[in-house]
């Protein structure tokens, strides 16, 4: 099925989550050609010409099977069946188009994945989150490409909702600006620490890219649930860092760091606090329902 949405304004998005077509083929049947053979020397009254049939090998079935095999392989990526789609935002020469692949059937990403990428069928956008709703999420899996004004600015691969293999970024002139390698969500050179010697209970993942801390950092409780998450940029903590309770992946605290590594540094401060039921009880400068000591 081919579904196409066409944008009517800058704020709307076009998307196509089943935009995959296969070339049509036509098979020609085999032929048998008749060849006239010169008559064998014989008396005039008894000599007759004979017809010899030279069969041509019919490769139709072989060609069809080969095409089917090639068509099938395009729908598989690392052992999983995939479908293709795209998301478009904006219009004109600066329109942004994201072409992506996603799992034909839902598969839950790894609980240890630092971030999970998916296509949200409700908002019609590609999102990144720690938890996802199977009813509205199409887990990204396979090739991904982002273009602005018809020029590629980023491309790579996903594996069950996580960045995988080589990822590259380009500027508007098409010059390569960065290249990273991932293994199922983690930088290839990341340092992984475990709670146990058998390395079955992951404790933390420290992302390293080009010999410095860069990317998503995660720490887990011993029960496997998330304890901390945040981002490093140029070896510095940036953005919002979140501490979680040791049950149901519920947030406990949110701390604010500079937005980028190039911003003026400042000491991190408490931005939000939640109780054990997930209710917001504190937000800096707006709300404070915390119990009085």
Q: Are residues 122 and 240 in the same domain?
A: no
Residues 137 and 6 in one domain: yes
Q: Long-range contacts of range 22-30, CB-CB < 8 Å, 24 or more positions apart?
A: 22/71, 25/64, 25/67, 27/60, 27/63, 27/64, 28/60, 29/58, 29/60, 30/55, 30/56, 30/57, 30/58, 30/60
Query: How do the pLDDT tens digits run along the chain, 293 residues long?
Result: 334 444 444 444 444 555 444 444 444 444 344 444 455 444 444 445 444 545 555 566 776 666 665 555 578 999 999 999 999 998 888 899 999 999 999 999 998 888 899 999 999 999 998 889 999 999 999 999 999 999 999 999 999 999 999 999 999 889 999 888 999 998 899 999 999 999 889 999 999 988 899 988 999 999 999 999 999 999 999 999 999 999 998 999 999 999 999 999 999 999 999 999 999 999 999 999 999 87
Give the chain's domain count. 2
8/118 same-domain check:
yes
- Domain membership of residue 166 as a residue range: 1-19+67-188
Examine the domain organization and report whether 135 and 4 are in the same domain: yes
Looking at the structure, do residues 142 and 265 belong to the same domain, yes or no? no
- Tokens 């839950």 -> residue: 108
Q: Residue 114 in contact with residue 133, Cβ under 8 Å?
A: no
Residue-level pLDDT at 72? 54
Show Cβ contacts of residue 29 under 8 Å, excluding neighbours closer than 6 positions.
Answer: 58, 60
Confirm whether 58 is domain-assigned.
Answer: no
Boundary-marking domain end, from 162, 188, 214: 188
> Has this prediction a pTM greater than 0.75?
no
Identify whether residues 12 and 119 lie together within a single domain: yes
For residue 235, what are its two tokens?
């070896």
Q: Which of 159, 188, 217 is the last residue of a domain?
A: 188
Residue 282 placed within a domain: yes
The pLDDT value given to residue 290? 95
pLDDT at res. 91:
87
List Cβ neighbours of 70 (8 Å cut-off, separation of 6 or more).
Answer: none
- Is the same domain home to 110 and 1? yes
In a domain, 43, yes or no: no
Helical H runs in 185-229? none
Q: Are residues 172 and 272 in the same domain?
A: no
Judgement on whether residues 101 and 181 belong to the same structural domain of the protein: yes
Evaluate whether residue 14 is within a structural domain.
yes
According to the model, what pLDDT value does residue 130 have? 81
165 shares its domain with 270: no
Q: Are residues 240 and 136 in the same domain?
A: no
Q: Do residues 167 and 209 share a domain?
A: no
């Amino acid at each position: 099925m081919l579904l196409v949405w066409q944008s009517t304004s800058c704020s709307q998005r076009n998307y196509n989550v089943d935009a995959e077509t296969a070339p049509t083929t036509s098979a020609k049947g085999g032929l048998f050609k008749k060849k006239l053979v010169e008559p064998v020397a014989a008396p005039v009254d008894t000599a007759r010409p004979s017809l010899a049939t030279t069969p041509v090998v019919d490769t139709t079935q072989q060609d069809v099977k080969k095409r089917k095999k090639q068509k099938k392989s395009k729908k598989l990526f690392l052992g999983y069946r995939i479908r293709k789609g795209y998301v478009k935002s904006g219009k004109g020469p600066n329109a942004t188009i994201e072409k992506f692949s996603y799992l034909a059937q839902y598969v839950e990403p790894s609980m240890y994945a630092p971030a999970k990428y998916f296509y949200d069928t409700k908002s019609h956008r590609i999102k990144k989150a720690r938890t996802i709703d199977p009813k509205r999420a199409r887990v990204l899996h396979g090739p991904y490409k982002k273009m602005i004004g018809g020029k590629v600015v980023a491309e790579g691969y996903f594996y069950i909702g996580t960045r995988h293999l080589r990822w590259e970024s380009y500027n508007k002139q098409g010059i390569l600006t960065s290249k990273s390698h991932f293994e199922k969500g983690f930088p290839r050179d990341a340092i992984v620490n475990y709670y146990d010697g058998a390395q079955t209970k992951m404790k933390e993942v420290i992302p390293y890219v080009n010999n410095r801390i860069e990317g998503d950092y995660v720490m887990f409780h011993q029960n496997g649930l998330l304890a901390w998450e945040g981002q490093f940029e140029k070896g510095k903590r940036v953005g919002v860092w979140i501490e979680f309770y040791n049950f149901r992946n519920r947030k406990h605290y949110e701390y604010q760091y500079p937005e980028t590594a190039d911003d003026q540094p400042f000491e991190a401060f408490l931005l939000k606090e939640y109780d054990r039921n997930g209710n917001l009880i504190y937000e800096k400068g707006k709300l404070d329902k915390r119990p009085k000591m």
